[in-house]
Chains A and B, each alone.
Chain A
Amino acid sequence: SQQGEEDPQALSIQEGENATMNCSYKTSINNLQWYRQNSGRGLVHLILIRSNEREKHSGRLSVTLDTSKKSSSLLITASRAADTASYFCATDADAGNMLTFGGGTRLMVKP
C-alpha cells in the first residue's frame, strides 16, 4: 500500500522557475523523506525531516512538514534542466521498519 500521495503527478516548468511538490500521508510518522529518481535508475535520497521539525533546507531544496495536516512540500528554487526527474516522498512510521513511498511527481524543467 502507498502511504504518501504526491501532487501534482506531473509538473513542467521553465529553467529558473521554482518547482513545488506536495505530499500527503495518512498515519503517524517518525520522519518523512524525499527522494529523486532519474529515468530507469535507482532512487537517491535528498532530505529527511523529522516529525518534530517544521522546515529543513539543503542547497536549493526546502522541505516543510505539517504533521497536523499530514502533509509535506518540497520546493526546488531556481530550477535547472538537470533537475528533470521524478520526485518521491516516503514516510517512515514510528513503529516498525517500513519505508513507504508515494506515487511520485514527474518534473520536467525546460531549458
Chain B
Amino acid sequence: SQTIHQWPATLVQPVGSPLSLECTVEGTSNPNLYWYRQAAGRGLQLLFYSVGIGQISSEVPQNLSASRPQDRQFILSSKKLLLSDSGFYLCAWRHSRHTEAFFGQGTRLTVV
C-alpha cells in the first residue's frame, strides 16, 4: 500500500532563517506531487506541483521554492523566511491527473 510521510509536524523558525520541508511517498512510482499552504481557517493555496524528477511548476511566485531530487521525494525550501510564510503546509500525491489525491499530515510552520 502507498503511504506519504511529511515532516516535521511543527516548526518554529525565526525570520530570515532557511526552511526545508520534506515529503516522501512510498509504494508507488512516478507520482504527481503537490505542495499546498493553508492559512488558519482558510482554503488550500497550491504552491508547487511536479509530474516528474526535476519538473517543478510554480503557481504562486513568492519566497519559496520546490525541488524533486528523487522520484518520490518533494522538498519545499526557502532561503530566508518571512513572517507571511507562517501557515500549515500540506504535501499530497496522486497516481496521475484526474485521480484522487492523498495528503500528508501537514507541517505547521510559525515564523517568529
Task: List residues of A whose CB falls within 8 A of some B CB.
Answer: 1-2, 6, 30-31, 33, 35, 40-45, 48, 88, 90, 92, 96-104, 106
Contacts and interface: CB of A to CB of B under 8 A. Distances in A.
Given A33-B100, A99-B94, A41 B106 contact: yes
A43 to B, nearest CB: 5
A103 B42 contact: yes
14 contacts: A2-B43, A2-B45, A6-B43, A33-B101, A40-B108, A42-B6, A42-B103, A43-B44, A45-B101, A88-B44, A97-B32, A99-B34, A101-B46, A104-B43
Given A97-B49, A101-B46, A41 B98 contact: no
Contacts of B42: 103-104
- B interface, size bucket: 20 to 34
Interface of B: 6, 32, 34, 36, 41-46, 49, 51, 57, 59, 88, 90, 92, 94, 97-106, 108
B101 A99 contact: yes
Nearest to B100: A45
Contacts of A97: 32, 49, 51, 57, 97
B49 A43 contact: no
Interface centre among A2, A31, A35, A42 (most CB of B within 10 A): A42
Interface centre among B94, B98, B108 (most CB of A within 10 A): B98
B46 A40 contact: no
Nearest to B97: A97
Contacts of B90: 42-43
Contacts of B94: 99
Contact of B100 (A48, A98, A101, A103): A48
Given A43-B103, A103-B43, 18 more contacts: A2-B43, A6-B43, A33-B101, A35-B101, A41-B106, A44-B103, A45-B100, A45-B101, A90-B101, A92-B98, A97-B32, A97-B57, A98-B49, A99-B92, A99-B94, A101-B36, A103-B42, A104-B42
A43 B91 CA distance: 10
A98 B59 CA distance: 9
